[in-house]
Structure formats: structure tokens, C-alpha cells
Amino acid sequence: MMEKTFTITAKSGIHARPATVIVGLASRFDSDIHLEFKERTVDLKSIMGVMSLGIGQGAEIKVSVVGEDEQEALNALQNLLHKEGLAK
């Protein structure tokens, strides 16, 4: 299992458009990928789960990945969050 904590830097947080992009990327991997925010954990492959968290600017989130392609998945998600200016 691999985990990484991120701080959301986007002014609008994780709203519909970035959530869709993140979920789309996570869905490409076979690993189980979860997102934790304020003691709630959701499947990162579920748009409704991600949107239900209401993640705003300054929030700390934790991404957990378990599976054969966990390293590749976590690297891809980290690159996406940084490239899109969503998190650091």
C-alpha cells in the first residue's frame, strides 16, 4: 500500500471538472484507490463519492493506493494534481 498527502491549492477546490478528470485517471488503473478527507474515505473511481466530500482550497487530502500498479497510479495522480494546479 502506498499513501500520499496533498494540500489543495486550487481556489475553487475539487469541483465537478477537476473531479471528473481525477476520477477518469484513477479509473484507468487496476489498483484500489481511495481518497480520505475529514475522516471520510471514498473510492477515487467514484465521481459521486469525490463530489460528496466538498473539498475546498487549503484542504488536506490523502490518496491511498493498493494493487499491482500502485506506484504507477500514485505517480500519475500526483503528476495530474500538480500539472492542473490543484494541489501541492
Task: Select which of 15, 38, 62, 82 is catalytic.
Answer: 15
Which residues fall within 8 angstroms of residue 1, CB to CB, at 6 or more apart? 64, 65, 66, 70
Task: Please state, as a whole number, how many other Cβ atoms lie within 10 Å of the Cβ of residue 46.
Answer: 16
34: annotated active-site residue: no
Which residues are known catalytic residues? Answer: 15
